[in-house]
Amino acid sequence: MIECPLKREFLECTRLLEEELGDKPYLGRGNLGFVEVALIPTYSWFYVREKFGNFSVEAKHPKFIAWTKRCMQKESVSRSLHDQKRVYESCAFGVNLEWSRWEKAWT
């Protein structure tokens, strides 16, 4: 199996953030802050990465996913982000659409 460099880089960044998090509830000063505001919007895309990359972030970095879930418990956060499964469905539809166009062009 070929390891994708983007997947490796993503998991390395996640590992570094998990290390920085340590036992703190949030990456900032113990409360939801600028770091969370900058990073948590990418959480909507985790499911897409996991499905297309065939891996689990939670299996490799459980503390990091616990942090994302803690952030998502805040109503202001959860209401402002797209549902992960809907983001995936949109991406999967786009991939299938492009694949069918490619198939038609070559058959």
The pLDDT value given to residue 100: 55
Mean pLDDT across 13-30:
90
Mean pLDDT across 9-35:
90
For the question of whether the overall pTM of this predicted structure is more than 0.85, the answer is no
The pLDDT value given to residue 102: 47
> Which range of residues forms the domain containing residue 10?
5-106
What's the mean per-residue pLDDT of the chain?
Answer: 84
The pLDDT value given to residue 63: 95
The pLDDT value given to residue 106: 45
Number of structural domains (the chain) is 1
Domain holding 32: CATH number?
1.20.1050.10
The pLDDT value given to residue 12: 95
Alpha helices by DSSP H, listed for 1-107, are 5-21, 34-39, 46-53, 57-60, 62-72, 75-78, 84-106
Closest C-alpha to 12, from 71, 55, 68, 70: 55
